Amino acid sequence: MTTDTAEKSLPNAGAGHAGRLGVAPQAAPKVGFVSLGCPKALVDSERIITKLRADGYAIAPDYAGADVVVVNTCGFLDSAKQESLEAIGEAMTENGRVIVAGCFGVEEERIRDAYPGVLAVTGPHQYEQVVSAVHEAAPPLHDSFLDLVPAEGLRLTPRHYAYLKISEGCNNRCSFCIIPSLRGDLASRPAANVMMEAERLVKAGVKELLVISQDTSAYGLDIKYAQSQWKGRALPARFHDLCEALGELGVWVRLHYVYPYPHVDTVIPLMAEGRLLPYLDVPFQHASPAVLKAMRRPAAQEKTLDRIRRWREICPDLALRSTFIVGFPGETESDFVFLLEWMREARLARVGCFRYEPVADAKANDLPGAVPDEVKEERWHRFMAVAQEVSEKRLASMVGREIDVLIDEVDEEGALARSQWDAPEIDGSVFLNGETCVQTGDIVKVRIAHADAYDLWGERS
Ligand code: SF4
């Protein structure tokens, strides 16, 4: 990024993105896009960009070239809100014609107090309002023949993988979270819509679909598992049926944000049969029953270790990834030690850990027993040491194995790839030093030669 104001790049509009977003007619109004937050927000941004491109807009790679800038914000944690405010501030300074979208948009007053000149503030899922605000700020050209977009829409991820959002909102009420009040209750997409989007993505070259939502295992509950027509058959909007159908597409299918409800057991055989990746992202957040109860976590009453053991009997190669919070109000030393022992027994492949941070308006703020910052810090380090020990052991056992990997990047020094047990952005990599005869998106067989605590090194076999 240059310091020259006139050429300052947008944070997520690199040359690669601009290239994929296509070339619009010269006179088309240009929209700059800044997307903050989680993959779900990224999917929202993709939807908005797709609609804007279909309406004839071009995407500006820098602030100076944009007729208007949309900042898609995150409003989950205070730190995310701060980051959103800073991003709005940067867009105001660099361009001055700014529309705010996304979760932080619910705090319109705060945004307008800080930046009275913003053109519009819209909230989560208000795609139409964002698009209308852009139309108002920079009226579109009407040339539907020149402004065609690819059938799969426009994406911010590389060409070979894509996020597939199956629902919005959440019916749970975890005490530390305000997502349900920002994004509303669970609203599942009809199964046929999800499948048609997945098919379009596969046709466009996607090799890996990453299924996301706030609570993937609750899919369809709100629409009573309604059936919709896909490929001449009635497909229920049910977690298992959707997973089975996605497994027919012949690409890697990875499940994120799945809670350990009993009905999740039924998709494990699909993993053992190679129809889904042997990977489950289960945001456990803690293991101590007392802390889970205070967090009001879904499926907290389940005997999770027994469940994990059963899953591994069916699919021995299953990799579990998860996130945890340490220093939650009321977490005692014995709760924390319980968590560490649970971690060792659960043998999670990949973990992320956050020090508890209060979120404005969350119920957890009223809980007694705040944990001092230095204790949170100390527990975070102890947690990460155990996580590293578990990961190191697991990756060492991979040495000598022949596995499939998906190529993410290639340069003159070699290729960067991922195994079936690693999601993009959040998990580890497989380095193929000197391997230049492959292309991004290829799936190749490699033999693992070396491992450290987080990554693997291999050679084509
Ligand atoms: S499951 Fe809990 S943490 Fe996740 S979105 Fe729903 S309420 Fe928030």
Q: pLDDT at position 4, please?
A: 34
Integer Cα distance of 74 and 363 in angstroms: 19
pLDDT at 142 exceeding the cut of 90: no
62 C-beta closer than 6 A to ligand 1: no
Is the distance from CB of 458 to CB of 438 less than 8 angstroms? no
Is the distance from CB of 37 to CB of 103 less than 8 angstroms? yes
pLDDT at 145 exceeding the cut of 80: no
179 C-beta closer than 6 A to ligand 1: yes
**Ligand 1 geometric centre to CA of 204 (Å):** 32
For range 322-339, the mean pLDDT: 97
Q: pLDDT at position 11, please?
A: 57
pLDDT at 7 exceeding the cut of 70: no
Q: pLDDT at position 27, please?
A: 65
Higher pLDDT, 76 or 395: 395
306: Cβ–Cβ under 8 A, 6 or more apart, which residues?
none
Q: pLDDT at position 149, please?
A: 53
Q: Which amino acid is located at 49 in the chain?
A: I
* The CA-based dihedral angle spanning residues 318, 279, 307, 392, taken in that order and rounded to the nearest 10 degrees: 60
Which of 215, 295, 325 has most ligand 1 atoms within 8 Å of CB, for mutation?
215
pLDDT at 13 exceeding the cut of 50: no
**Ligand 1 geometric centre to CA of 259 (Å):** 10
pLDDT at 38 exceeding the cut of 90: no
Q: pLDDT at position 22, please?
A: 34
Integer Cα distance of 309 and 378 in angstroms: 30
Residue 9: strand pairing partners? 62
Q: pLDDT at position 51, please?
A: 79
Kind of pairing between the strands at 414-419 and 279-281: unpaired
List, as own/partner pairs, every contact residues 332-341 make where C-beta atoms lie below 8 angstroms and the sequence separation is at least 24, other chains included: 332/290, 334/288, 335/286, 335/288, 335/290, 335/291, 336/288, 336/379, 336/382, 338/287, 338/288, 339/286, 339/287, 339/288, 339/291, 339/383, 340/382, 340/383, 340/386
pLDDT tens-digit series, residues 345-394: 999 999 999 999 988 889 999 999 999 999 999 999 999 999 999 999 99
Q: pLDDT at position 371, please?
A: 97
111 C-beta closer than 6 A to ligand 1: no
174 C-beta closer than 6 A to ligand 1: yes
Q: pLDDT at position 374, please?
A: 97
Q: pLDDT at position 81, please?
A: 87
388 C-beta closer than 6 A to ligand 1: no
Q: pLDDT at position 8, please?
A: 56
Q: Which two tokens stand for residue 437?
A: 């005869």
What percent of the chain shows pLDDT beyond 90? 65
Average pLDDT, the chain: 87
**Ligand 1 geometric centre to CA of 173 (Å):** 6
11 C-beta closer than 6 A to ligand 1: no
Find, among 321, 347, 345, the residue nearest to 425 by Cα.
321
> 438: pLDDT confidence band, cut at 50, 70 and 90?
very high
440 C-beta closer than 6 A to ligand 1: no
pLDDT at 421 exceeding the cut of 70: yes
pLDDT at 324 exceeding the cut of 90: yes
315 C-beta closer than 6 A to ligand 1: no
Integer Cα distance of 158 and 321 in angstroms: 22
Confidence (pTM): 0.74
343 C-beta closer than 6 A to ligand 1: no
Q: pLDDT at position 151, please?
A: 56
Integer Cα distance of 332 and 296 in angstroms: 17
Find, among 181, 179, 263, the residue nearest to 220 by Cα.
263
**Ligand 1 geometric centre to CA of 150 (Å):** 33
Q: pLDDT at position 275, please?
A: 97
215 C-beta closer than 6 A to ligand 1: yes
**Ligand 1 geometric centre to CA of 320 (Å):** 19
For range 225-252, the mean pLDDT: 95
pLDDT at 297 exceeding the cut of 80: yes
**Shortest-distance atom of ligand 1 to CA 171:** 6
Handedness of CA 264, 267, 269, 274 (dihedral sign): negative
Is the distance from CB of 267 to CB of 276 less than 8 angstroms? yes
**Ligand 1 geometric centre to CA of 160 (Å):** 29
Q: Which two tokens stand for residue 159?
A: 């060409």
Q: Which two tokens stand for residue 432?
A: 């193929």
CA nearest ligand 1 atom 2, residue = 174
Comparing 202-211, 292-301, 320-329, which segment has the lowest mean pLDDT? 292-301
pLDDT tens-digit series, residues 97-107: 999 998 888 88
**Ligand 1 geometric centre to CA of 133 (Å):** 30
Q: pLDDT at position 17, please?
A: 31
197 C-beta closer than 6 A to ligand 1: no
> 46: pLDDT confidence band, cut at 50, 70 and 90?
confident
Mutual orientation of helices 191-203 and 239-246 as an angle, nearest 10°?
Answer: 20
pLDDT tens-digit series, residues 151-198: 556 667 788 999 999 998 999 999 999 888 888 899 999 999 999 999
**Ligand 1 geometric centre to CA of 338 (Å):** 23
Find, among 87, 163, 71, 72, the residue nearest to 124 by Cα.
72
**Shortest-distance atom of ligand 1 to CA 170:** 6
36: Cβ–Cβ under 8 A, 6 or more apart, which residues?
71, 72, 73, 74, 80, 83, 84, 87, 102
For range 440-456, the mean pLDDT: 96
pLDDT at 325 exceeding the cut of 80: yes
Find, among 3, 120, 137, the residue nearest to 73 by Cα.
120
**HEC letters along 175-232:** CCCCHHHHHCCCEECCHHHHHHHHHHHHHCCCCEEEEECCCHHHCCHHHCCCEEEECC
**Ligand 1 geometric centre to CA of 59 (Å):** 33
170 C-beta closer than 6 A to ligand 1: yes
